[in-house]
Structures are given as C-alpha cells and as structure tokens.
Structure 1
Amino acid sequence: MRISTRFFAAASIAALSLLAGNAMAEGEKLIIGTEGAYPPFNNLEADGTLVGFDIDIAKALCDEMKVTCEFVTQDWDGIIPALQAKKFDAIIASMSITPERAEKVDFTNKYYNTPPAIAVPKDSDLTEATTESLAGKVIGAQGSTTHSNYVEKHMAESELKLYPTADEYKLDISNGRIDAVVDDVVVLSEWVKSEDGSCCKILTTLPIDEVINGEGAGIAVRKGETELAAKFNTAIDAIRATGKYKEINDKYFDFDVYGE
C-alpha cells in the first residue's frame, strides 16, 4: 500500500466524474487515480509517464470495458478524500481491501494479493521478526498504509517512523537512520535487487493479519457506485480468462501475484 500530476483540464473533471456509477457506453472516459510512487506497481517516470503493474492492469481493464481511461496521480494520504471529492472515478493503486477502508469506499474483488515483509540492512544483527527481537528497534513504513498499521499492532515494542512515500524510508535505511522497514514483499524484493537497495536484504515475509492486510488489493470506487465496481469485476475475470492478466503479471514478476 505514494508527486501529483494532472493529465486533464479542470473543466473536464466535473463532467467525467459523473460517469461513475452509471452504465458506461463504449468510448466514454473514466478517470483513474493512482499514486505514482510505488514501484513496481505504479511509478511516475521523469518524463511524466506512468508505469507499473497497476497501470498496465488498469489499461487492460479499460480496454476490456471498452472505455477510455486517463490517469491522475495523487499523494497516498489524500487519495481516498480525493476520490470522495470526485477528482477521479476509481483508485487503482495497490490499495488493500480492509474493513476500515470499506467504511469509506466500495471495493471490487481483489486483482492481486501478496504478503507483507520486513527488510533490514545486510549487516543487521536481526535474525527473526518477533516482538522481542524487534523491541527498541526503529522501523520505517509509509504512513496511512496497512504496513504502518501492522507495525503498530504486531511490533508494539518498536519505534514506528512514518514516511509520506516509500522513497523516503528507503533513503533512511540506506543511510543507517532506521533499523528495518515493512512493506509489500514484492516492493521490498524488487528494491533490494536494485542498485539503490544494495544496502539491504529481506529478513522474512510476515504472517498476514486479515483484519489489517485485508483480502488483497482491490479497485476503490465511491460508496454506492456498485455498478461501476461490478463492471470492473467482470473485466478482472475476463482478463484472467483470456491470458492478458498472465501476460502483464509475467512482465513484472516470476510468480503469480494474484494469490489464492
């Protein structure tokens, strides 16, 4: 579970946001909100291009629904309020389906499900991720995420340090300012394999807490817009059946991120 760029005129927003919740005719437009700071799922390149698994899945779903989608980036901690304010029509940004969020938005079925993990410096003396072994350690996580909630609950004797994006916690652990970080296993695995993440290693994956981690990442829509959610669900099933999902999955990962 994030540099704001707008790809459309302000005058278009009000008109386009009316589409959500209504039957969508072929060729209509849908505005998709994402973060753009969470590789390999979604990331805003220097040239303004959005790339990543979330982005490719969103494009495939839009093609399946026969609608035109445009993207807008939004800082993570304001992404649900921005959806509620009709700045976009749906969120496709690796958002975990949790009971707390479900009080504010409606979700589609999952489109992937991967567990959390903890990463530490390569020279760390940590050998396990228990409450006792992590006591007194400073652990970084992105704020307003399931991962920060996980640390609060399961690593209560540690000091939690929150960051606005994953980039900031990566910088701090690289420079020895914190002892560990918690995030999605895919995000951390891709990072430690890169030059920027050469400082660190995955200590272990963490047991899923269904209340905190939810049932996977879903697409969020405004409360009551069940018809739009249903259309996304139909499209998710379709790209799974046609092999398009696997094609996108294999572009980024060497295992099936859809999960059980």
Structure 2
Amino acid sequence: MKKIILMLFALFFINAPLVADEYTVIRFGVDPNYAPFAYKDRTGTLTGFEVDIGNAVCAHLNIRCQWVESDFDGMVPSLNAGKIDAILASMTVTKARQKVIDFSSEVFSSPTAMVFRPGTELAKGTAVGYLQGSTQETYARQVLVKQGMKVVAYADQEQVYADLVAGRLQASLQDAQQAQSGFLRLPQGAGFVLGPLIESELMPSQSAIGIAKGNHVLKALLDNGLAALHVDGTYARLQEQYFPGVDMFSGQ
C-alpha cells in the first residue's frame, strides 16, 4: 500500500505545473558534522545521504545546489533571515517548528536512541550529551532532567562523541540510524553500543526539508524533486549505499 500511495504522490507532483523561474540556485543549510547524513570526506568534500539527496533533487529540477554550512541551532534563524532557502539537515517535523517554518514532504524517518558503553547505568547523575536545538534537547530537558540525569548541549554531534569517548559523558542521545551508520562504525565507536529505541511524542521520527513559512513555490519544487527520486530509483540506491538493508522512508 505504501508503494502505491508513493507512486500516485510522485506522479501527481511530477506532472504538476511548477514555477521554477524564481530559482536558479537553492541554498541549503547543512550541518557537516552529522555523518552519514552530512560530513566532509578525506578530501574535504561535503558528502552524505542528505547531501546526495539534495544534489539529486537539484539535478532533477535543473537548479544548482549551494551548500551553506551552519551549526544546527542557527539554521531556522538563518532561514527566516533569508540567508538560506531551505534546511536539509535531518530536521524533524515537529508542531513547534511548524509554527515558524514550513516543511517539504518526507526525506526520511528514524527514531532516537542513546549510545553508551556496555554496563553503563543510565540513572541519576549520568551525564548525557545531545545536539543543541534538536528534538533530543527537548526530550533531555523535559524527561532526562526529571530522572536526575545531567544533560549537556553541544554545537555539533562530533563534539558529543568526542566527549563520550573521552569519558566526560556517559551517554549520547541522537538519531539512532545516525549513530548506527556513523559513529558506531568508526574506530572511536568501538566499545560502545546502541541502546533501545526511545518512543516519545517529544521526538517524532519524520525528517523533511525546512522552508520559509508560506514559500509554496519552493515547497512544490522540492516535493516534485523528492518524488522523482523515488520513481527513478535514486532514493533506493542512496538508501542502500548509506544504510544497507534499512528502510529509511515511512511513506507517511
């Protein structure tokens, strides 16, 4: 059923008339410290699942992508100030964010989990790090603090992992697939494990592209491009490249 609905959705957008003349370039805000979604390779080139998705969308629309690197918590202000056109940075769709920005159709869905060393007791006094401005911050402040844990905000996810490895943190709270396909596959991730998935209405799983409120032209363009990637197989290819055997798309 999901595939049928997706196909109908894709065909609708691909055949819908679009006003693309306003955009020759789309400036995407991106956090380059969130592998495998966005990161710098050994040559310093920006790459990753979402970067490849964005570039493929731009190629379909015959529009140039421009990537603007930023800390995650500065992206919404940059968007609303007109410094970027869209946010493609694993931004979860939440009711709070929908009050200040709009979103494209789904890019991917992934739940949240903690990373820690085996045997770690997640109890009162445990230091837990998270990405500042993320939905994990909301959960940490509203749930973990009440459990007596010490929560620490970081400007980027790599800093969270650095302090986790150094022992200044006992756990990190992040997107489960980001941890599984990024940190835990790296040498510094040896000796750490992914905890149980955390179900909470404070941390919805669906991520999409953030767009300025009321920008219907750009939303239509991006929805068209995303739908085309499912139809031509690009999404499936990139999903298998970065997350082998994992279904990252809910189709909701």
Given the two structures, how large is their TM-score scaled by the length of structure 1? 0.83
Task: Name the residue aligned to 1:226.
Answer: 216
Please point out which of 177, 186, 190 is paired with 1:198.
190
Work out the CA distance in 1 between the residues paired with 2:188 and 2:30: 23
Task: Name the residue aligned to 1:114.
Answer: 110
Work out the CA distance in 2 between the residues paired with 1:50 and 1:90: 17
Change (3 A) 1:222 1:192: same
Change (3 A) 1:188 1:53: same
Q: Retained in 1: the 8 A contact 2:37–2:51?
A: yes
| 1:186 counterpart SS class | helix
What count of residue pairs does the alignment treat as equivalent?
Answer: 230
Work out the CA distance in 1 between the residues paired with 2:106 and 2:174: 18
CA positional deviation for 1:98: 0.7
CA positional deviation for 1:259: 2.8
Task: Name the residue aligned to 2:168.
Answer: 177
Matching of residues 55-204 of structure 1 within 5 Å:
55-122=51-118, 124-126=119-121, 133-155=122-144, 156-157=146-147, 158-190=149-181, 191-204=183-196
Q: Which amino acid aligns with 1:154?
A: V
Instruction: Compare the two structures and name the one with the higher helix fraction.
Output: 2
Q: Which amino acid aligns with 2:211?
A: V
Q: Tell me: higher relative CO, structure 1 or 2? Use CA pairs within 8 A at least 6 residues apart.
A: 2
Q: Which amino acid aligns with 1:233?
A: D
Q: Deviations over 1:95-123 (max 9, x none)?
A: 1111111111111111100000111113x
| 2:75 counterpart SS class | helix
Unpaired runs of at least 5, structure 1 = 1-21, 127-132
Work out the CA distance in 1 between the residues paired with 2:46 and 2:66: 11
Unpaired runs of at least 5, structure 2 = 1-17
Work out the CA distance in 2 between the residues paired with 1:220 and 1:27: 16
| 2:188 counterpart SS class | coil
Work out the CA distance in 1 between the residues paired with 2:71 and 2:130: 15
Percent sequence identity is 25
Runs (4+) of structure 1 moved beyond 6 Å?
none
Work out the CA distance in 2 between the residues paired with 1:98 and 1:106: 10
Given the two structures, how large is their TM-score scaled by the length of structure 2? 0.85
